[in-house]
Amino acid sequence: MNILHAIILGIIEGLTEFLPVSSTGHLTIVEKLLGLSIDDPGVTAFTAIIQFGAIVAVILYFRSDIGRLLAAWGRGLLNRPARQNDDYWFAWYIIAGSIPIGIVGFLARGLISGPLRNLWIVVAGLILWSVVMVVAERLGKQTRPEKALTLKDALIIGLVQCIALIPGVSRSGATISAGLFRNLDRVAATRLSFFLAIPALVGAGVYEGVSEGGAVSSTVGWVPVLIGTAVSFVVAYASIAWLLRLVARHPITVFIWYRVALGLVVAACLTTGVLAAT
C-alpha cells in the first residue's frame, strides 16, 4: 500500500462511515480495485484502524454531549437522586448497547477477517439489507423521541449492530433500521447510532492495532495507516454536520438505489471476471 492508496481510502472512510451505505463494504471494494489483497490480515487491520479517525471526529463533534453524559453518569453512580436524570440512563443504554458487538466481534474475529472478506458477501449485504431498510421506514411509526429510549431498545439495537460486522450491511444502516423498527423517530435513532459507533469502532481499531501490529508492519506499513486515519478524521469532521442532517431529515430509503446499483455493478464485475471475489 502506498501513500496515495491511504489517502483515497481515508477519504472514502470519512465520507461513508456515517451514511447507511457500509464504509467497510466501500473500503473492501476500493481496496480490491487498487490491487490490494482484501483478505490479508494487514489490510483487514488497516480497514478497522482508519475508522478510528472518523470516530475521533464524532467525539470532537459531540464533545459537549459526551461530557454531559459522562458527568450525569458519574453523578448517578454516587447519588441516587441524580439517577432521575435522562442523561444518566442514556449513558447506561450506550454501554449496554455496546456489549453485544464487543462479544460477537471478539468471538467471530476469525470469520470477520477471513471468509467475510469476500466481495460476494459485500454484494449480498448491500442488496439484502436494503430490503430491511425499506421495511423499517415503512413500518416504523417514529412516534418515540430520544427520552422514550429504554434498556430493551438499546439491547435490541445493539444486537442488530452485530449484523453490521458483515461487510455491505452498514453499521449505521443496521442501527437506524433497528431504531425505526422500535418506533423511535429518525433523529433519536440516528443520534443513538452515532453514540453506539464510538465504543464499537474504537474497540475494533485498538484490538486490530494490537493483535495485528506485526501484519500491519510487514504488509501495509504504519505510515499509510497513520495517513489514512488522519485523512478519515479530517474528511469526517468536515462533513459530519451535513451527514447528520442528511440522515436525520431524510428517510434512509434515499440510499437504497445507490446501495442496490453498487451491489449490481460489483456483481457484474465479479461475474465477468473483472474483479475477483477475494
pLDDT score, position 37 = 87
List C-alpha distances in Å: 258 to 54, 130, 168, 215, 276: 22, 10, 12, 34, 22
Q: What does the CA dihedral 144, 145, 149, 154 come to, rounded to 10 degrees? A: 90
pLDDT score, position 82 = 87
181: closest CA among 137, 131, 140?
Answer: 140
pLDDT (tens digit per residue) in 193-204: 989 988 988 888
Binning pLDDT at 50, 70 and 90, where does residue 26 land? very high
Q: What is the C-alpha to C-alpha distance for residues 12 and 266, in angstroms, rounded to an integer? A: 17
Q: Is residue 15 within 8 Å of 235, Cβ to Cβ?
A: yes
Instruction: Say yes or no to pLDDT of 88 above 80.
Output: yes
The predicted model gives 265-269 an average pLDDT of: 95
> What percent of the chain is predicted at pLDDT more than 90?
60
Cβ-based burial of 114 (10 A; exposed 0-12, middle 13-18, buried ≥19)? middle
Alpha helices (H) along 108-221: 109-113, 119-139, 151-161, 171-181, 186-211, 213-215
261: closest CA among 128, 135, 137, 127?
Answer: 127
pLDDT (tens digit per residue) in 110-166: 887 778 888 999 999 999 999 999 999 999 999 999 899 999 999 999 999 999 999
pTM over 0.75: yes
Instruction: Say yes or no to pLDDT of 208 above 90.
Output: no
Which distant-in-sequence residues (6+ apart) come within 8 Å of 35 by Cβ?
none
Count Cβ atoms below 10 Å from residue 11 Cβ, excluding itself. 17
Q: Is residue 36 within 8 Å of 199, Cβ to Cβ?
A: no
